[in-house]
Chains A and B, each alone.
Chain A
Amino acid sequence: MINILWAIIFVLVAPIIGGLVCGIDRKVTAHMQGRVGPSVFQPFYDVGKLFEKENAVVNETQIFYVVCYIVFMIFTGALFYAGGDLLLVIFALTLAQIFLVLGAFAAYSPYSYVGAERELLQIMAYEPMVILTAVGMFVATRSFNVADIAATTTPVVLLIPGIFLGFLYTLTIKLRKSPFDISTSHHAHQEIVKGVTTEFSGPTLGLIEITHWYETVFLLGFIYLFFGWNPLLGVVAVVVLYLFEILIDNTNARVRWQLAVKSSWLIAVIAGVINLAALYFLMGGVS
């Protein structure tokens, strides 16, 4: 059931793809704003430069938490691509995310502290929808295993359109895109400086960047699952939806965290209840 080969491929290839996706993201963003933008390889240059810098910290424990963050994020993604249990993947993702939050708390700095609290709010905002997504996929395919869901012949997205929309909504939070980049973002335009990542610099910050690449590839895989019955459509959907996220990012101003949490929950309740209820009754109470 678990495919180690895919896990290894993920560990090796994901940072390359993730970095390129970020590079393309910046290029597309630049074009949307009427700029030329950097090379698509710019994220690699940036991270390379971060690793050449001195590793200055507020305290040593921060580094420990960031290392745990990247290790468990890789673990999450590897488990996902190896075809593991989707719920387990989601819980592992939470574990990884908590380590980043702990790293921010550990610095005991006002800005990273606010960032950490907000990051937790974000987790609280997206977690119900993500769990419901896994449940929806289970109801549609009768399996929690990523391998089975990806190989299904059921048009998953057509069975759980509500859940799909809800998932897309929370995806914006997960990708740290406007309007939900409330705990940190790539753009220095906020009252909380860099939020969660304020107190990280040099190689430590570089690790966080690489983790973000891993996470992006993992999330793209998650989108693919909705379209698993038709691989071509799946790939097209992943590309289109990521471009859509970039468009949202560039056309929206950041909202307050209250709105982020409330709206994600509202959508999770509505999408979850209606979609799951409909599935239950249509499929005859799921035996």
Chain B
Amino acid sequence: MQLAQLLIFLILFPLIAAFFLLIAKKEFERDWIVKLSALAIGIVSIYLLITTYDKGALLVSVIPAEPTGLVMFILEMLIAVFILYLGIKYKKWLVVGLILVQSVMMLYFELVYAHSVHIQSNLFIDEFSNILALIIGIIGSLICVYSLGYMKFFHEHHPEMPDRRPWFFGVMFLFLAAMFGLVFSNNIIWVYFFWEVTTLCSFLLIGYTKTEEATNNAFNALWMNLLGGVAFAGAIIYLGMFGNGVMGLDELMTTGKVIALIPAALIGFAGLTKAAQLPFSSWLVGAMVAPTPVSALLHSSTMVKAGVYIIVRLAPVFQATVTGYMIAMVGALTFLIASGIAISQSNAKRVLAYSTIANLGLIVACAGIGTYEAIWAAILLIVFHAISKSLLFLATGTVEHRIRSREIDDMNGLVVRMPKIAVMMVIGIAGMFLLPFGMLISKWAAIRAFIDAPYGFLFVIILAFGSAMTVFFWAKWMGKIIAVTSDSKNIEGEVDHSEWAALVSLAGLSFITTLVFPMLSTKLLEPFLMANYGHVAQLSQDNIIIMILMLFLLMVMPLSILLPHRKHRHLAPYMGGRTTTHDMRFSGSLGVQKKTVLSNYYLHDWFGETKLKTWGIWLCSAMICIMVVSAVLRGVVL
């Protein structure tokens, strides 16, 4: 009983907070509601871990399917009417069409099949859900806290935008509620309901500023996710028709591939759209128009993680099927192509977006392969990516407010101009691609998983190239930040305390998770793998010790600055013998004074966005076609 209360609390409490945020008009009220709710959500999600610790998968059957299901259905229809209204208002006929199809499908299901479906347990919790709940509860809440400072600054500096902050924070918390619901639901119809709510929330948040670009991008995100929603609804109808009453995730796993593969493939397709895999990557890149905390939320703890969550959840069904391999190939190609595109991007948020798409691709690749080692790597990637990416987005947001630019080349000498934030950003970047931080451990795990899988060598080769590109674009960004420009002044000023609290917590988390990673693996991941796959994956003791040694070495090295040392003589950089002023100006031809400007390499000829994306869209669409055909063949023929 207590467990059920905890789960319901995590789903409903953010909802209540959202309601109060909608009606709270005073700023200090909002501040306190957000902070206290964030604290409560964080604590309860940790408490949930403690109470369910070491208990494996727990099904919760106390919540009746009816009338909850009916309420959800009515809400779904209301959402559909709302989207329909907006679609007609803005003349987005694709969205109108998709929402109509989807609603008719769900209406049909409700009228014809719903009464024959009987689910024992609508909610459940296991180690994997627990990990996701921690990510949502801790990182998601931190992002909400950060938003307080960010949105205040945002509206002070954009007076032309309508201040709709009550709405903004309301939707943010609704998003958290929907995510909790998604990861705790065992009933697939419930999963679908929360799935649609996350689609709606992301649509509302992307369009927050109501500029033309924001509106267009919001609708772009909407139609892609609705397409996924149609596939999801298709899976539910299929289960209603042929599933013999199977409607729980747990039953779907055990019912055998003959029944499960087609709905799993459809839900997997929905997952691909939500996880912004090629050819559906453009909505996530377009989502960059939203205020930065929204991007942080979409990229790290919600939305895209819902997409990979469901694919990883269904991985046992995909394992060793053509369908699974095609999903894995979509992921692997997305990883490769998005990493390449990231090299050519000069806008920090776009680099982050493509890096997210790439990493999600890697997670999808692992999930599609579906061996226990691959799933181990996938879950590690989910965890570490959430931490480093949210840190990077939030740091970028804070920097953006000070330098009024998202261009990486404008972040020149950040270590001089904003030392504290620069350190946060460097930690975030290092977390994404360097040993001994989590993302690299996960990539390492992925390599090992791929080697052991049939045809895995293809994935290993793709991973080797993709990760080499990753090194290039992260390192050159890092180089920009740590360049010491002699003439710059410190313009950091007072960082809003809520922003600062979120940044420091996330930076701390990236170190702590790297340190406790062995525990995370043995206490949470291994039981999950054991229960679902009968095998466990782990790093050897020696390697863990070496990694911890490296982490300490990395943390100790900066202390070397404190050691007594002689003062060194400072010289100006070598400028080919020209007379140069201390701020790096030199006289060019005709005696014109020029300022030295150094810019990164972007290699547009090789890694141009349009070219690579076209390739990616065609290749991945082909893979998805094969995936659908193979699932249908297997389901129908066998």
Seen from chain B, the residues whose Cβ lies within 8 Å of a Cβ on chain A are 413, 415, 434-435, 440, 444, 447-448, 451-452, 454-455, 457-458, 460-461, 463-465, 467-469, 471-472, 475-476, 478-480, 482-486, 540, 542-543, 546-547, 550, 553, 557-558, 560-561, 566, 568-576, 584, 596, 598, 600-601
Contacts and interface: CB of A to CB of B under 8 A. Distances in A.
A71 B468 contact: no
B573 A123 contact: no
B435 A91 contact: yes
A272 B569 CA distance: 49
A61 B484 CA distance: 8
A67 B553 CA distance: 12
Looking at chain A's contact residues, the main secondary structure is helix
Interface stretch (A10-18, A22-30, A125-133, A206-214): A125-133
Contact of B480 (A60, A105, A121, A135): A105
B574 A92 contact: no
Contact of A113 (B448, B543, B598): B598
Given A68-B557, A85-B543, A269-B461, A57 B571 contact: yes
B471 A123 contact: yes
Interface in A267-287: 268-269, 272-273, 276-277, 279-280, 285-286
Contact of A58 (B465, B472, B479, B570): B570
B461 A132 contact: yes
A109 B546 contact: no
A109 B573 contact: yes
A277 B576 CA distance: 50
A108 B485 contact: yes
A209 B576 CA distance: 24
A-B interface, 6 closest residue pairs, ranked by CB to CB distance from nearest = A109-B573, A105-B479, A127-B468, A131-B464, A128-B464, A276-B457
Given A57-B569, A101-B479, A108-B485, 8 more contacts: A63-B568, A104-B479, A108-B484, A108-B573, A120-B471, A123-B468, A127-B467, A131-B447
Given A108-B485, A135-B451, A280-B457, A128 B465 contact: yes
A71 to B, nearest CB: 7
Contact of B569 (A56, A64, A98, A279): A56
A55 B553 contact: no
B471 A71 contact: no
A111 to B, nearest CB: 6
10 contacts: A57-B568, A88-B444, A94-B471, A95-B550, A110-B573, A124-B471, A124-B472, A131-B447, A272-B461, A273-B461
Interface in A83-106: 84-85, 87-88, 91-92, 94-95, 98, 101-102, 104-106
Contacts of B600: 117
Contact of A268 (B452, B464, B598): B464
A206 B63 CA distance: 71
B377 to A, nearest CB: 13
B98 to A, nearest CB: 40
A120 B475 contact: yes
Contacts of B465: 128, 265, 268-269
A234 to B, nearest CB: 24
A2 B542 CA distance: 7
B573 A106 contact: no
A150 interface: no
Interface of A: 1-2, 54-61, 63-64, 67-68, 71-72, 75, 79, 84-85, 87-88, 91-92, 94-95, 98, 101-102, 104-113, 116-117, 120-121, 123-125, 127-129, 131-132, 135, 138-139, 144, 193, 198-199, 265, 268-269, 272-273, 276-277, 279-280, 285-286
Contacts of B454: 285
Contacts of B547: 88
B482 A105 contact: yes
Contact of B560 (A64, A272, A279): A64
Contacts of B542: 1-2, 84-85
A91 B442 CA distance: 12
B343 to A, nearest CB: 9
Contacts of B451: 135, 138-139, 286
Contacts of B557: 64, 67-68, 71
Contact of A56 (B543, B553, B571): B571
B569 A55 contact: yes
Contact of A124 (B434, B468, B598): B468
Contacts of A107: 483-484, 573
Nearest to B479: A105
Contact of A109 (B452, B461, B540, B574): B574
A136 B267 CA distance: 36
A144 to B, nearest CB: 8
A94 B435 contact: yes
Contacts of A101: 475, 479
Contacts of A57: 568-571
Contacts of B566: 55
B475 A98 contact: yes
A94 B550 CA distance: 13
A205 to B, nearest CB: 13
Contact of A94 (B434, B458, B574, B584): B434
B568 A60 contact: yes
B537 to A, nearest CB: 14
A106 B422 CA distance: 13
A283 to B, nearest CB: 11
A91 B440 contact: yes
A64 B458 CA distance: 40
Contacts of B546: 2, 79, 84-85, 88
A223 B460 CA distance: 22
